[in-house]
Chain A
Amino acid sequence: MLRIEGVAKSFGTFRAVDGVSLDIKAGEFFALLGPSGCGKTTLLRMLAGFEAPDEGRILLGGKDIAQALPHERPINMMFQNYALFPHLSVRDNIAFGLKRAGMARAEIATRVAEMIALVKLDGLEKRKPDQLSGGQRQRVALARALARRPQLLLLDEPLAALDKKLRESTQGELMELQRRLGMTFIIVTHDQEEAMTMASRIGVMKSGKLAQVAPPRELYEAPRSRWIAEFVGDINLFDGESKLRDGHRLVIGTRDAGALVVAEPREPVGAGRFAVAIRPEKVKLSRRGPVSEAGRETAINRLDGVIADICYLGGTTTYKVKLDTGGVLQASVANSARIDVDAYSLNQHVVAWFTPDDCVVLQS
Chain B
Amino acid sequence: MRKASRLTRFNVASLALGLAFLYLPILILVLYSFNASRLVTVWGGWSLRWYRELFNDRAMIEAAWMSLRVAVASATIATLLGTLAAVALSRGERFRGRTLFSGMLYAPLVMPEVITGLSLLLLFVALNAERGFWTVTMAHTTLTMCFVAVVVQSRLGSLDRSLEEAAMDLGCNPVRAFVAVTLPLIAPAIVAGWMLAFTLSLDDLVIASFTTGPGSATLPIRIYSEVRLGVKPEINAICTLVIALIAVVIVIASLASKLSSSQGESAAPL
Contacts and interface: CB of A to CB of B under 8 A. Distances in A.
A352 to B, nearest CB: 44
B53 interface: no
Nearest to B161: A83
Nearest to B176: A100
Given A76-B169, A100-B171, A130-B265, A83 B163 contact: yes
B171 A71 contact: yes
Contacts of A79: 162, 165-166
Interface in B183-215: 184-185
B166 A83 contact: yes
A242 B78 CA distance: 78
B172 A83 contact: no
Given A81-B160, A83-B160, A87-B185, A97 B170 contact: yes
A141 to B, nearest CB: 9
Interface in A192-227: none
Contacts of B168: 49-50, 69-71
B269 interface: yes
Nearest to A129: B266
Contacts of B166: 77, 79, 83-85, 144
A337 B220 CA distance: 88
Contact of B170 (A81, A96, A128, A161): A96
Q: How many B residues touch the partner, as a band?
A: 20 to 34
Interface string B89-132: 00000000000000000000000000000000000000000000
Contacts of B265: 130
A87 B159 CA distance: 13
A48 interface: yes
Interface string A44-83: 0000111000000000000000000111000111011101
A87 B169 contact: no
Interface in A100-139: 100-101, 128-130, 134
Among A49, A71, A77, A86, which residue has the most Cβ atoms of chain B within 10 A? A86
A86 B267 contact: yes
B263 interface: yes
B176 A83 contact: no
A40 interface: no
A87 B265 CA distance: 12
A77 B169 contact: yes
Q: Is chain B's binding surface mostly helix, strand, loop or mixed? A: helix
A112 B96 CA distance: 45
A86 to B, nearest CB: 4
B26 to A, nearest CB: 36
A83 B262 CA distance: 16
B167 interface: yes
A129 to B, nearest CB: 5
Most interface-central of B173, B265, B267 (chain A CB within 10 A): B267
Nearest to B263: A86
A148 interface: yes
A148 B168 CA distance: 13
A81 B163 CA distance: 10
A81 B162 contact: yes
Contact of B163 (A80, A85, A130): A85
Nearest to A77: B169
A70 B262 contact: no
Contacts of A69: 168, 173
Nearest to A45: B165
B20 interface: no
Contact of B184 (A77, A83, A87, A128): A87
A84 B160 CA distance: 10
Nearest to B183: A87
B169 A81 contact: no
A148 B269 CA distance: 24
B270 interface: yes
Contact of B172 (A49, A71, A75, A130): A71
12 contacts: A50-B168, A69-B168, A71-B171, A77-B165, A85-B185, A86-B264, A86-B266, A97-B170, A101-B171, A130-B262, A144-B170, A145-B169
Given A77-B166, A87-B263, A97-B170, 6 more contacts: A69-B168, A69-B173, A83-B166, A84-B266, A86-B267, A101-B171
In the A-B complex, list the 5 residue pairs whose CB atoms are closest, starting with the nearest: A100-B171, A130-B266, A97-B170, A81-B269, A83-B166
Interface of B: 160, 162-163, 165-173, 176, 180-181, 184-185, 262-270
